[in-house]
Amino acid sequence: MPFWTLFWLIVPPVVLLAIGLIHFFATKEDVE
């Protein structure tokens, strides 16, 4: 499988998940 094909298939979802995880732990539950 060409490198760039593999890159675009794997990297974007992993990066998005990592951003989501960092955001989750960096923010606190807002108390209502």
Residues forming contacts to another protein in the complex (CB under 8 A) are 1-2, 5, 9, 13, 16-17, 20-21, 24, 29, 32
Cβ 17 to another protein shortest distance, Å = 6
User: What is the Cα gyration radius of the chain?
Assistant: 15
Cβ 4 to another protein shortest distance, Å = 10
Cβ 7 to another protein shortest distance, Å = 13
C-alpha to C-alpha distances, 26 to 6, 19, 20, 29, nearest whole angstrom: 30, 10, 10, 10
